[in-house]
Amino acid sequence: MKFATWNVNSLSVRLPQVLDWLQSNPVDVLALQELKLTDEKFPVDAFTAAGYSSVWFGQKTYNGVALISRTPAAGVVKNIPGFDDDMSRVITGTVHGVRVIGAYFPNGQAPGSDKFEYKMEWLTALRRWVKEELATHPHLVLMGDYNITFDDADVWDPEGLRDTIHCTEEERYHLRALIALGLTDSHRLFEQPPRTFSWWDYRDFGFRRNRGLRIDHILVSSALKPLVQSCEIDKGPRKNERPSDHAPVVVDIAV
């Protein structure tokens, strides 16, 4: 099975690109983030016509997540149970026995800000939710836009960006705490080219200069780890006209 995650930065704008990409990359599950549309505007018919089932959790202007899958997702849960949140950031469902959590982690803006504090609380709540889900679903994939880099290798300018948002020790602590639940970063299971990123700033020719960050991740449970065949970041869509600032990440798991 192939699993992919893609922050599309407005599904209304990016729908044709998503459909094109799915046609060339017929993955089994695609997690989308930053839909930036309300539930009634979700283009369910377009995905149905493309042979995909959809579950979604939209929001006006900001956030919004979805799971697009070849076979319908079961046991769908929206956001983090027990964590009061007015933003639509998480959608969970089971596809072919694999529990899939698609998540749009908070940006956090800047260390010390209210939004950073919210990010920390959200990360603590997410970890509890993932731990609960792992207890009943040994086959689990946690994927999405994490808005956190693991270490310097994920950052185009580690010195210049040290301790800035996405690169702080506090954020990385939470990322390691997710790993400590028994999850593995599928990207690092394989030899990867240096300076491999998943996001590039729209400004200042960020993509052309490969000034990016690796902040979109696919973490897999310990039962899935030995079954992971590949993990690739597809820079193709970033070369489109009017691209998302993020590229899709794709993992192939023999399950």
Which residues lie near DNA (CB under 7 A)? Answer: 7, 9-10, 12-13, 34, 36-38, 60-62, 106-107, 109, 115, 145, 147, 165-166, 199, 201-204, 213, 215, 242, 245-246
Least separation, in Å, of the C-beta of 145 and DNA? 6
The string over 180-210, giving b where at least 16 C-beta atoms fall within 10 Å of a residue's C-beta and e elsewhere, is ebbbbbbbebeeeeeebbbbbeeeeebbeee
For residues 73 and 108, which CB has a smaller minimum distance to DNA in the complex? Answer: 108
Catalytic residue among 28, 52, 145, 245: 145
- Residue 238 identity: R
CA distances from 244 to 33, 62, 198 (A): 11, 15, 11
For residues 210 and 230, which CB has a smaller minimum distance to DNA in the complex? Answer: 210
For residues 145 and 252, which CB has a smaller minimum distance to DNA in the complex? Answer: 145
39 tagged catalytic: no
Least separation, in Å, of the C-beta of 245 and DNA? 6
What is the widest separation between alpha-carbon atoms in the chain? Answer: 47
CB neighbourhood size of 127 (10 A) = 16
Q: Which two tokens stand for residue 210?
A: 């490969």
In whole angstroms, what is the distance from residue 203 CA to residue 94 CA?
38
Count Cβ atoms within 10 A of the Cβ of residue 13 and give its class: 0-12 exposed, 13-18 middle, 19 or more buried: middle
Least separation, in Å, of the C-beta of 212 and DNA? 8
For residues 173 and 202, which CB has a smaller minimum distance to DNA in the complex? Answer: 202
Q: How far is C-alpha 82 from the chain's CA centre?
A: 22
For residues 64 and 93, which CB has a smaller minimum distance to DNA in the complex? Answer: 64
62 tagged catalytic: no
Least separation, in Å, of the C-beta of 236 and DNA? 17
* Alpha helices (H) along 108-206: 114-136, 169-180
Least separation, in Å, of the C-beta of 47 and DNA? 17
Catalytic residue among 104, 146, 154, 245: 104
Show which residues are catalytic.
104, 145
